[in-house]
Structure 1
Amino acid sequence: MAVSSQAPGADAARSHLMALVAVECEAPGAPPRAALDRQMASVLADALAQDLVTQIPQIGLLDFVVVGALYDQAQVLRPHWPLYASMADALERLPRESGESHVVALGTHGGRLPLSILEPEPELFGSPMLVMPWLLSGPGDVIGKVAQRLEQELMERGLIGAELALAIGEAFGIKTAHARHMTTLDLCALACAQYEHAGLGALWQIIETALLRPDQEIGVNLDDGSSLWFRDRTVHFESRDSRLLAQYRAILGAHGIVVVAIGRGGPDAGPGSA
């Protein structure tokens, strides 16, 4: 796979690789500081960029964008990747000279991040794993080579050095068990395993389609006879179980996916088995 994913909304002449730092905390819950000010975000961005360049020197030829904030993974795993689209847009707004690369840190000013869409959603916090997104941007050929090396080398071991992991923990006021780099597809694979372990594998099929194939339709039938059908960026849910409807609305809503209850008979096409 040459490029992990493309961030929408950016210059078509440039390619983008979406990735993140996954931080495993010693305890679940909201971090004392979910977002960093510009100065602290800049310090962490420089340290992360150097960590990556040390392992893959070609990354130094690319623009590197980091949001100095921690998120629940559901806020990252949303259709059309809105966090990354905003990061790519912020990068494209910078003045640049030919051949010049940037390390861009997006931090708070007056307690707020530069775009409201980048604000962490505190109601989602609860997992011991938090994520800090980063984006590489540059010529497609360089991005392709870097993506291959990330997949083959860095993402296999991926662990960030203890000193840098400690710095991340101190910046956000958390105790970290470990921290590692991941691509968004790595995160998808991890989320898939988590959903399947929780008995929600069918729900993940819907989320995965919305993330990776948003223009496609998919239907799944559940063991209790309920049905889910994803189309037109919306999940149509057919069930007589109001508690299940509320649960699925909460889970899919965290991923930015709307759930609409329908009566028996379903949408025109009708749900099918996955």
Structure 2
Amino acid sequence: MSNSNPDMNALGVVALELAGGEQPRQAVLGSEQAGELAALIGRDLAKLVPQVSELDLVFAAAHFDPAEVLRTGLPIHRRLEELQMRAPGRNQGPRLLAFGADANGEVPLPLQADPALGGGALRVLPFVLAGGDEQTRLQVREALEEVLLANGMAQPDTALLAQNSFGAQIEHARYFTVNDLAAMMAMQYDNQGLADLWPLLETAMFAPDEEQWLDATPEPLLRYVGGEVRMALFDPAGWCAHYGHEPNACDRLQRIYEQYLMRQRQMAAVLEAHGIGVLYVHVNAGQDAKALLAH
């Protein structure tokens, strides 16, 4: 049956927690290894939610930084959905579709991780459960949201195959839904003092056509719209005026202003890691910053 409503698909990742700060030696698996790992993943998920076996498992045998997966509109998962729709064998029962390196060992563009985001202790391998009928997809998606966070450890042979195939020392291998992964990232950013930025990131991921502001003194002023963030860039006098400081105190607040600029750079780096472009809008003293960002 055709996947008439892809939004009902279950989107998830295999999360590999690396040991000792060592990065995997392999960026992507070949087709045979990818298929072997996908088969074990499908088995693990079906043990947790038996109806998984009624759906296509579409698996990317390449590892990414979580920020690459949690980008505007979830592009890697959407690409897997496109590949699922185009693959032969539709309407012939559940399929196992694993994508890795091509015959020449080259990594196809959708599976090329950003080298600038390497080095993290957590790498994730995206998968989609699609096909079947809409009710089954919805039930599987809801069931996975209920069970994975608490019970989603990969079976030992799955973790061992991932470790040997990617050439990585893995402490833990487990399954998350995309929502689980987003919640974990939200907690991480909260611990880093970036909780105010999360609503913009969440909007970009899950409702990219909507608009979201960060307007919380003393934080930078940001507006997400149309897949990018517009960030107010104040000179010292404009910053002093916008944030309500006394004009005659501005010189004494130079250090605070410099901290504010550092905060802007920090937020811009996080946004760009999630694939969100940042457009700086210059605001001078006396100008309405919100009105400028709204245009």
**Pick from 127, 134, 145: which aligns with 1:140?**
134
The count of corresponding residues between Structure 1 and Structure 2 is 261
**Pick from 104, 107, 113: which aligns with 1:113?**
107
Identity of aligned residues (%): 29
With 189-198 and 119-128 compared, the bigger mean Cα shift is at 119-128
Q: Normalising by structure 2, what TM-score? A: 0.82
Letter in 2 for 1:81: L
SS of match in other structure, 1:268: helix
Deviation at 1:32, TM superposition (A): 1.3
**Pick from 187, 192, 196: which aligns with 1:202?**
196
Equivalent in the alignment of 1:268: 291
d(CA) in 2 for partners of 1:235, 1:193: 22
Equivalent in the alignment of 2:36: 43
Letter in 2 for 1:159: M
d(CA) in 2 for partners of 1:171, 1:242: 44
**Pick from 252, 268, 271: which aligns with 1:252?**
271
Equivalent in the alignment of 1:3: none
Query: What are structure 1's unaligned runs of at least 5 residues?
Result: 1-9
The aligned runs of 1:74-223 (5 Å cut-off) are 74-109=67-102, 110-114=104-108, 116-138=109-131, 139-223=133-217
**Pick from 1, 4, 15: which aligns with 1:12?**
4
Cα separation, partners in 2 of 1:269 and 1:246, compared to 1, 3 Å: closer
Q: Normalising by structure 1, what TM-score? A: 0.88
Please say if residues 24 and 128 of structure 1, whose CA atoms lie closer than 8 Å, have aligned partners that are also in contact. yes
With 31-40 and 74-83 compared, the bigger mean Cα shift is at 31-40
Deviation at 1:89, TM superposition (A): 1.0
Please say if residues 42 and 104 of structure 1, whose CA atoms lie closer than 8 Å, have aligned partners that are also in contact. yes
Please say if residues 106 and 113 of structure 1, whose CA atoms lie closer than 8 Å, have aligned partners that are also in contact. no
The aligned runs of 1:63-82 (5 Å cut-off) are 63-82=56-75
d(CA) in 2 for partners of 1:135, 1:122: 24
Rg: which structure is higher?
A: 2
**Pick from 224, 227, 244: which aligns with 2:221?**
227
SS of match in other structure, 1:98: coil
Please say if residues 86 and 118 of structure 1, whose CA atoms lie closer than 8 Å, have aligned partners that are also in contact. no
Higher fraction of helix: 2
The aligned runs of 1:50-65 (5 Å cut-off) are 50-65=43-58
Structure 1 runs of 4+ aligned residues shifted over 6 Å read none
Deviation at 1:11, TM superposition (A): 4.8
Deviation at 1:86, TM superposition (A): 1.0
Deviation at 1:88, TM superposition (A): 0.9
